[in-house]
C-alpha cells in the first residue's frame, strides 16, 4: 500500500563507501537516520482498507504494554526483537502487519513512584487529596511516560504508533468499567468479606499471584493453653500449641486437634483458656490438623490465617480481627492495642514467658508471604472486596487451548496453563489505591453526605443519580490489561470517538482482531496471558490471538534474575550504543532458543557486532563497482541478463544455496525457532556468501596495485544474491540492511527494503548437481590448505597440486572439475594443477584422501617423512574404526532385513567409500617406504 502513503520522504543519502582505512562498521551513524525515514514514511502503518477489501491478510501482534514507570530492560529487548522480527517478516511476506503499542498505567507501581517523588518534595498524598494527587500522576505521565516508547524506537520497533493506547485513556477506561458492569449483570462479580492478602505498606489488597512466598529464618514457639473445667477454672491439663505467629493469639477463637488423635479424644468439646486475654475457646476436631506437628494441636485464628479461616468455616467458629490496616494491633488485642505487629509479637512472647506459658522456643524456617510490590510481609486480613467468579470464564478459556484454537509455543506451557485454569480461584479486583480505574459502583448518601447503607448500591459506568457517590476503590491493573487485544481497537464501542483512540473504528476492530500472536514471558502467564484468553472468549466470543510464544527470561551471567538491588542488570540501550541496535537484536535472536532462560554475558553482543561488520564489509567487495552520484546513490540498475543455466558454477551454487536458506528460514520461523532462523541466515552470509562466493568473484589488483574491474554480469548477480540475503537479514538487522539496500540500485523511496517482498526463489533456479560439484571443490581446496598448514607453506607461496579423481564416474567428474580449475587454483594458491582420473602420485608429495579422490602436493625437501607416515597411520586407523562400525551394522542380519532399504544402501555406500579410501591411504603409506 505504499502508493497510499501521502508524503514519502526521500530516502536518506547513503554514506559514501568507506575506504579500508575507515575501520570497522560504525552503526551509530547509520542507525540514527533510518528509523525516522521509516516512521515518517508511514512504513509501519497498517491499513484497515487493505484488509477489509480482502487485498491482504492481517497479521497482528499486541505488544505487552510496558508500565508508564518502566524503563527498557533486556526482557523488553528480547521480546521486542522477537515481535519486530515477526512483524517485519510478515509485512514483507505480504501481510498487513500491525504491531499495536501502548502503555499500562500500572496502578501500584506508578502510585508509589509519584508518591515517593512527592514525599521527597515534602508533600503528602493524603493531605493533598485524591484529585490533586491524580493531577500529579497525570503530570508525571506527561513528563516521563513516553520515555520507554522512545527507547523502543532506538531498537527499531516497527509498531504503528497511531494505534498506541494507554490503559487509562478515556475510551479504554470506559471499556474497563463496561466490563465490570457486564460481569455484574451476569452475576460474575460480587462483593464479599473474606480473608485477603493485605499489604500494610501500600495499604491495599493484592491478589494471590502478587504474593511471593519466601523462606525466612524465624522461631516456633510452643505455648501452654490450660484446659478449663465447666466453671471456667484451669484444670491440671493443658494443650501445647506450636505457633510461628504468637501476635495473633489475641484472635484465637478455637483450638483444634485431629479427630483421630488418641491423646486428646477426651478434650473434644471442652474449652481451653487462651493465655493472652484469658478468653475461653472450644477444642474442636478437624482433619486438617497434623498430629505429628508440634504437640499435635493448632490454635485456630480464622481472622488471620487462611487455613484457620477454612477450619473456622467448617465449625462455625467466631472470627476476630485484631489488626488495623497499617499493621498495628487494634483494641481487640487488649493490652497490645496500638503496637506494631513485630513489636507485639516480641512483647507477647516475653509476657507469656514471664507468666510461665511459654514452653519452648525453637529456630524454625518460616514460609513468609511477601508483597511482590512493596516487599512488605503480607497480612491475611478480613476485608470487604470485589471479586470476579473465575470458574465460568476459565471453562471456555480452557476449551480453546484444549481444542487447539490457541496454540502455545513451546507446547509445554499449555500444560502449565491448564493446571492453573483447572484450579482457578476467584479474583479479588478491588484495590485501595487512587491511581486506576474507579470501580463503577455508586452509593446513595444520607443527609450528611455519608453512604446510606440501607439502600442497595447501583452498578453503572456513569453516575446514575445526582448526589450518589462512587466507590472509593480502583480496579486491579490487570483488570484493564486483560482487555488489551480488543480494547486497544476500540471495543466495546469503536463508533464513539474517545480521547487516545485515534485509530479505533468498527472496521479496525473487525480487521485486526483477533490478533495473530502474543509474545511474552512466562512470568505473566497467569497474570495476563491466561486472563486475556478468558476475557477474549467471554466478552468477544473469540480467542484474543491464535499463537502464544513464550520466551525465556533474561538472567545474568551467573543465572540470577537481573534486579536493581543486585545491580546486575544489563541496559539494552548501553549495549545498543556500544555495539549497535542491530547487533543487540541479532544476538538476542540467536540466544532465543525455545523456552530456555538466557544467561546473558554482555560480551555476547560482540558476536552480533562482528556479524554486522562482516556484512558491511562484504558489500564493499562488489559495491565499489556500482556507479553512484555525488550523494552515494547508485545511478545504474544492473540486472542480470544471463539465464540460470549460463551462470558459472559458483553462481549457480550460491543462488541455490540462497533458495535453500530462504526455505530453511521460513520453516524455522513457522515454528518460532528464532535462534535456528538467525543461525541459518548467519551461516549463509558468512560461510557461503563471504567465505566462498565472494572469495571467488572478487577481483584482485594488477601489478601496479590498481583494482581490476568486475564485469557487469558478475556484479549484477552479486547484487541480486546480496539483496536476497539483505531481505532475509532485514527483520533481524533492519538498520544495517536498509542502509546497504540503498547502495545497490537506484530506487524510489517506496522501494525501501522494509517494504520489499520476501524472497521467493524460482524453483527452476536450483541446481543440486552444482551444489554437489561445488562441495567437491570445497573439499579439495580444504585438502590443499590442510597440507599447506601442516607443512608451513607460506600463504604467498604457490604450490603444485595433482588431483587424482576416483569414484564411479571419474572421467565425468574430472571433466567437471577441469571446468572449474580456476576455483581451486585461486582458493588454494595453486600454480600448477593437474586433474586426471587415477593420476599417479608425484614423487615426494604429501597426500590427502578426499571422498574417492586424492590430492597430492609435491613438497620436495619439505616433507618430514616420519610425520607424514604418522599422519597417514592415524588417518588409516580412524577410517578403519569407522569401517568396522559400518561393517558391524551390515553384518547384523536384523539390520539388513528390518531397516529401510535406503538406510541399508547408504551404509553400503559408506562401506565402499571407506574401503577405497583406506586402500588409497595405504598405497600412499607404502609409497613413503
Partner RNA sequence: GGGCCCUUAGCUCAGGGGUUUAGAGCGCUCGCCUCACACGCGAGAGGUCGUUGGUUCAAAUCCAACAGGGCCCACCA
Site for RNA in 331-390 (CB under 7 A): 366-367
Residue of the chain from 10, 16, 235, 293 that contacts RNA (CB under 7 A): 293
What are the counts of helices (DSSP H) followed by strands (DSSP E) for the chain? 29, 29
Estimate to the nearest angstrom the gap between the alpha carbon of 327 and the chain centroid: 38
| 742-781 positions binding RNA, by CB under 7 A | none
Cβ burial 855-887 (10 Å sphere, 16+ → b, else e): bbbbbeeebeeeebeebbeebbeebeebbeebb
Q: How far is the CB of 244 from RNA (least distance, A)?
A: 5
Distance CA 282, CA 44 (A): 70
User: What's the min distance (Å) between Cβ of 649 and RNA?
Assistant: 18
Report if residue 305 touches RNA, rule: CB under 7 A: yes
Q: Which is nearer to RNA, 149 or 615 (CB)?
A: 615
Shortest distance in whole angstroms from residue 17 CB to RNA: 10
Which one, 263 or 906, has the nearer CB to RNA?
906
Is residue 299 near RNA by the rule CB under 7 A? yes
Cβ–Cβ under 8 Å, residues 918 and 879? yes
d(CA 802, CA 832): 8
Q: Which residues, 706 to 745, sit near RNA by CB under 7 A?
A: 707
Region from 111-119, 184-192, 229-237, 302-310 binding RNA, contact rule CB under 7 A:
302-310
Single residue of 613, 661, 680, 776 touching RNA by CB under 7 A: 613
Helix axes 147-155, 572-579, angle to 10 degrees: 40
- Tell which residue, 64, 87, 156, has the closest CA to residue 519: 64
Site for RNA in 380-439 (CB under 7 A): 412, 415-416, 419, 423
Least Cα distance to 793 among 801, 80, 178 occurs for 801
Instruction: Give yes or no for a contact between 270 and 233, defined as CB atoms under 8 angstroms apart.
Output: no
One residue of 100, 459, 504, 694 binding RNA per CB under 7 A? 694
Contact between 906 and RNA per CB under 7 A: yes
Considering only residues 487, 598, 716, 726, which one is a binding residue for RNA as defined by CB under 7 A? 598
Q: Site for RNA (CB under 7 A): which residue of 610, 713, 826, 844?
A: 610
- Choose, by CB under 7 A, the member of 128, 181, 319, 883 that binds RNA: 883
Residue 521 interacts with RNA (CB under 7 A)?
no
- Site for RNA, residues 234 to 253, rule: CB under 7 A: 242-245
Helix (H, G, I), strand (E, B) or coil at 565: coil
Mask of contacts with RNA, 8-47, x by CB under 7 A? ------------x--xxx----------------------
Would you say 456 or 901 has its CB closer to RNA? 901
Residue 640 near residue 622 (C-beta atoms within 8 A)? no
* Among 237, 306, 713, 818, interactor with RNA by CB under 7 A: 306
User: Residues 347, 432, 578, 675: which binds RNA (CB under 7 A)?
Assistant: 675
Q: What is the distance of C-alpha 438 from the center of its chain?
A: 33
Identify which of residues 350 and 789 has a Cβ nearer to RNA in the complex: 789
Q: Which of 599, 747, 750, 869 binds RNA (CB under 7 A)?
A: 599
| Helix-helix angle 27-40:572-579, to 10 degrees | 110
Contact 755, 2 (CB under 8 A): yes
288 binds RNA (CB under 7 A): yes
* Angle made by CA atoms 689, 694, 695, in degrees to the nearest 5: 120
498 binds RNA (CB under 7 A): no
- Sites for RNA among residues 861-880 (CB under 7 A): 878-880
Question: Among residues 233, 454, 565, 894, which is the contact residue for RNA, using CB under 7 A?
Answer: 894
CA distance linking residue 922 with residue 391, whole number of Å: 76
Sites for RNA among residues 203-222 (CB under 7 A): 208-209, 213, 220
Among positions 547-586, residues that touch RNA (CB under 7 A) are: 559
Instruction: Identify which of residues 420 and 457 has a Cβ nearer to RNA in the complex.
Output: 420
**Cα-based torsion angle of the residue sequence 404, 408, 413, 419 in order, rounded to the nearest 10 degrees:** -30
Residues numbered 104 to 163 that lie near RNA (CB under 7 A) are: none
Smallest distance, RNA to C-beta of residue 839, A: 22
Enumerate residues 629-668 that contact RNA by CB under 7 A: none
In this chain, which of 389, 578, 679, 915 binds RNA, going by CB under 7 A? 679
Stretch that binds RNA, among 171-179, 491-499, 691-699, 839-847 (CB under 7 A): 691-699
Give the start-end residues of each E strand in 184-333: 189-199, 204-206, 211-228, 234-243, 254-257, 271-273, 280-285, 297-300
- The least CB distance from residue 929 to RNA, in Å, is 25
Please identify, using beta-carbon distances, which residue of 11 and 311 lies nearer to RNA: 311
With CB under 7 A as the rule, give the number of residues binding RNA: 98
Closest to 282 (Cα-Cα) out of 240, 235, 227:
227
Report the distance separating Cα 292 and Cα 399, nearest Å.
42
Burial class of residue 901 in the structure, from the number of CB atoms within 10 Å of its CB (0-12 exposed, 13-18 middle, 19+ buried): exposed
Q: Which stretch binds RNA (CB under 7 A): 178-186, 296-304, 655-663, 801-809?
A: 296-304
900 binds RNA, rule: CB under 7 A: yes
Nearer to RNA, 748 or 873 (CB): 873
Whether the CB-CB separation of 514 and 546 falls below 8 Å is answered with yes
CB of 797 to RNA, least distance (A): 10
CB of 164 to RNA, least distance (A): 31
Of 425, 526, 475, 471, nearest in space to 195 by CA: 425
- Closest approach of RNA to the CB of residue 894, in Å: 3
Per-residue three-class SS string for 122-177: CCCHHHHHHHHHHHHHHHHHHHHCCHHHHHHHHHCCCCCHHHCEECCCHHHHHHHH
Binding of residue 524 to RNA (CB under 7 A):
no
CB of 592 to RNA, least distance (A): 9
DSSP notation for 411-447: THHHHHHHHHHHT---EE-EES-SSSPBP-EEE-B-T
Neighbouring C-alpha atoms within 13 Å toward the C-beta of 58: 28
**Least distance (Å) from RNA to the CB of residue 300?**
9
- Cβ contacts of residue 546 below 8 Å, gap of 6+? 405, 406, 407, 514, 515, 516, 517
Q: How far apart are CA 731 and CA 738, in angstroms?
A: 10
C-beta of residue 289 within 8 angstroms of C-beta of residue 297:
yes
In terms of DSSP H, where are the helices of 355-504? 391-402, 412-422, 478-481, 484-487
Spell out, one character per residue from 41 to 80, where the chain touches RNA: x when CB under 7 A holds, - when not: ----------------------------------------
Q: Figure out which of the listed residues 50, 155, 298, 717 binds RNA, where binding follows CB under 7 A.
A: 298
Whole-number minimum distance, CB 702 to RNA, in Å?
A: 8
- Footprint of RNA on 786-845 (CB under 7 A): 786, 788-790, 792, 794-796
User: Nearest to residue 677, comparing CAs of 689, 661, 691?
Assistant: 661
Q: Give me the least distance between CB of 202 and RNA, in Å please.
A: 19
Rounded to a whole number of angstroms, the minimum distance from the CB of residue 198 to RNA is 16
Decide: is 705 part of the binding site for RNA (CB under 7 A): yes
First to last CA, the chain: 75
Tell which residue, 446, 543, 437, 526, has the closest CA to residue 485.
543
Minimum CB distance to RNA, residue 44 (Å): 29
The span of 301-309, 330-338, 469-477, 809-817 binding RNA (CB under 7 A) equals: 301-309
Amino acid at each position: 500500500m505504499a502508493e497510499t502513503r501521502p508524503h514519502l520522504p526521500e530516502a536518506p543519502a547513503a554514506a559514501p563507501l568507506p575506504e579500508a582505512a575507515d575501520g570497522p562498521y560504525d552503526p551509530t551513524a547509520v542507525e540514527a537516520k533510518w528509523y525516522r525515514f521509516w516512521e515518517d514514511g508511514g512504513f509501519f502503518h497498517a491499513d484497515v482498507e487493505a484488509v477489509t477489501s480482502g487485498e491482504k491478510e492481517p497479521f497482528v501482534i499486541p505488544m505487552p504494554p510496558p508500565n508508564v514507570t518502566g524503563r527498557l530492560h533486556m526482557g523488553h529487548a528480547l521480546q521486542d526483537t522477537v515481535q519486530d522480527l515477526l512483524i517485519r517478516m510478515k509485512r514483507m511476506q505480504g501481510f498487513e502487519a500491525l504491531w499495536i503499542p501502548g502503555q499500562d498505567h500500572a496502578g501500584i507501581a506508578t502510585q508509589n513512584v509519584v508518591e515517593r517523588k512527592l514525599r521527597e518534595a515534602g508533600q503528602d498524598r493524603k493531605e493533598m487529596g485524591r484529585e490533586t494527587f491524580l493531577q500529579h500522576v497525570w503530570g508525571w505521565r506527561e513528563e516521563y511516560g513516553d520515555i520507554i516508547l522512545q527507547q523502543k524506537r532506538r531498537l527499531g520497533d516497527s509498531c504503528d504508533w497511531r494505534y498506541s493506547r494507554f490503559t487509562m485513556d478515556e475510551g479504554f477506561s470506559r471499556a474497563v468499567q463496561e466490563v465490570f458492569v457486564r460481569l455484574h449483570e451476569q452475576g460474575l462479580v460480587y462483593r464479599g468479606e473474606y480473608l485477603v492478602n493485605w499489604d500494610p505498606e501500600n495499604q491495599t489488597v493484592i491478589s494471590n499471584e502478587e504474593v511471593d512466598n519466601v523462606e525466612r529464618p524465624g522461631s516456633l514457639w510452643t505455648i501452654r493453653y490450660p484446659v478449663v473445667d465447666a466453671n471456667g477454672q484451669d484444670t491440671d491439663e493443658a494443650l501445647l500449641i506450636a505457633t510461628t505467629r504468637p501476635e495473633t493469639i489475641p484472635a484465637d477463637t478455637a483450638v483444634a486437634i485431629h479427630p483421630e488423635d488418641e491423646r486428646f479424644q477426651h478434650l473434644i468439646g471442652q474449652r481451653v483458656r487462651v493465655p493472652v486475654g484469658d478468653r475461653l475457646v472450644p477444642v474442636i476436631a478437624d482433619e486438617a490438623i497434623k498430629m505429628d506437628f508440634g504437640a499435635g494441636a493448632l490454635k485456630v485464628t480464622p481472622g488471620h490465617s487462611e487455613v484457620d479461616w477454612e477450619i473456622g468455616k467448617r465449625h462455625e467458629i467466631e472470627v476476630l480481627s485484631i489488626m488495623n490496616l497499617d499493621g498495628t494491633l487494634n483494641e481487640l488485642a487488649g493490652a497490645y492495642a496500638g503496637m506494631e505487629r513485630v513489636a507485639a509479637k516480641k512483647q507477647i512472647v516475653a509476657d507469656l514467658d514471664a507468666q510461665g506459658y511459654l514452653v519452648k522456643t525453637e529456630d524454625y524456617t518460616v514460609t513468609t508471604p511477601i508483597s511482590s510490590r512493596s516487599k512488605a510481609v503480607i497480612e491475611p486480613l478480613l476485608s470487604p472486596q470485589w471479586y470476579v467468579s473465575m470458574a465460568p470464564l476459565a471453562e471456555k478459556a480452557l476449551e480453546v487451548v484444549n481444542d487447539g484454537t490457541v496454540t502455545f509455543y513451546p507446547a509445554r506451557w499449555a500444560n502449565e496453563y491448564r493446571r492453573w485454569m483447572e484450579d482457578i480461584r476467584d479474583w479479588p479486583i478491588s484495590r485501595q489505591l487512587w491511581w486506576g480505574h474507579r470501580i463503577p459502583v455508586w452509593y446513595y448518601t444520607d443527609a450528611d453526605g455519608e453512604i446510606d447503607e440501607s439502600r442497595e448500591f447501583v452498578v453503572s459506568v456513569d453516575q446514575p443519580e445526582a448526589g450518589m457517590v462512587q466507590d472509593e476503590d480502583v480496579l486491579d491493573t490487570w483488570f484493564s490489561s486483560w482487555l488489551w487485544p480488543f480494547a486497544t481497537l476500540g471495543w466495546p464501542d469503536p463508533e464513539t470517538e474517545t480521547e487516545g483512540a485515534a485509530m479505533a473504528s468498527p472496521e479496525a476492530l473487525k480487521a485486526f482482531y483477533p490478533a495473530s500472536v502474543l509474545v511474552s514471558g512466562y512470568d505473566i502467564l497467569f497474570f495476563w496471558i491466561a486472563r486475556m484468553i478468558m476475557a477474549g472468549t467471554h466478552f468477544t466470543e473469540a480467542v484474543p490471538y491464535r499463537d502464544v510464544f513464550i520466551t525465556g527470561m533474561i538472567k545474568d551471567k551467573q543465572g540470577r534474575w537481573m534486579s536493581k538491588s543486585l545491580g546486575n542488570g544489563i541496559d539494552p540501550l548501553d549495549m545498543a550504543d556500544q555495539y549497535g541496535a542491530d547487533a543487540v537484536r541479532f544476538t538476542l535472536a540467536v540466544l532465543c532458543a525455545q523456552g530456555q532462560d538466557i544467561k546473558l554475558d554482555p560480551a555476547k553482543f560482540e558476536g552480533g557486532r562482528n556479524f554486522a561488520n562482516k556484512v558491511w564489509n562484504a558489500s564493499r567487495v562488489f559495491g565499489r563497482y556500482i556507479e553512484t552520484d555525488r550523494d552515494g546513490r547508485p545511478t545504474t540498475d544492473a540486472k542480470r541478463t544471463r539465464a540460470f543455466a549460463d551462470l558459472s558454477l559458483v553462481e549457480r551454487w550460491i543462488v541455490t544455496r540462497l533458495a535453500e536458506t530462504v526455505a530453511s528460514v521460513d520453516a524455522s520461523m513457522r515454528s518460532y525457532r528464532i535462534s535456528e532462523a538467525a543461525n541459518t541466515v548467519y551461516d549463509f552470509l558468512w560461510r557461503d556468501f563471504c567465505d566462498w562466493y565472494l572469495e571467488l568473484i572478487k577481483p584482485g589488483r594488477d601489478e601496479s596495485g590498481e583494482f581490476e574491474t568486475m564485469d557487469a554480469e558478475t556484479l549484477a548477480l552479486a547484487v541480486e544474491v546480496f539483496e536476497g540475503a539483505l531481505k532475509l537479514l532485514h527483520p533481524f538487522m533492519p538498520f544495517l540492511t536498509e542502509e546497504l539496500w540503498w547502495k545497490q540500485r537506484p530506487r524510489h523511496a517506496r522501494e525501501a527494503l522494509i517494504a520489499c517482498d520476501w524472497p521467493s526463489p524460482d524453483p527452476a533456479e536450483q541446481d543440486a548437481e552444482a551444489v554437489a560439484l561445488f562441495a567437491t571443490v570445497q573439499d579439495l581446496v580444504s585438502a590443499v590448505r590442510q597440507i599447506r598448514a601442516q607443512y608451513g607453506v607460506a600463504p604467498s607461496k604457490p604450490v603444485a597440486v595433482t588431483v587424482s579423481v576416483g569414484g564411479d564416474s571419474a572421467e565425468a567428474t574430472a571433466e567437471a572439475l577441469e571446468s572449474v580449475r580456476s576455483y581451486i587454483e585461486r582458493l588454494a594458491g595453486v600454480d600448477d594443477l593437474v586433474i586426471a582420473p587415477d593420476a599417479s602420485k608425484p614423487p615426494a608429495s604429501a597426500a590427502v584422501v578426499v571422498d574417492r579422490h586424492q590430492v597430492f602436493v609435491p613438497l620436495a625437501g619439505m616433507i618430514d617423512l616420519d610425520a607424514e607416515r604418522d599422519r597417514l597411520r592415524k588417518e588409516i586407523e580412524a577410517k578403519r574404526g569407522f569401517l568396522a562400525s559400518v561393517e558391524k551394522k551390515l553384518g547384523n542380519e536384523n539390520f539388513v532385513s528390518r531397516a529401510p532399504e535406503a538406510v541399508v544402501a547408504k551404509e553400503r555406500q559408506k562401506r565402499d567409500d571407506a574401503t577405497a579410501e583406506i586402500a588409497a591411504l595405504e598405497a600412499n603409506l607404502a609409497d613413503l617406504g
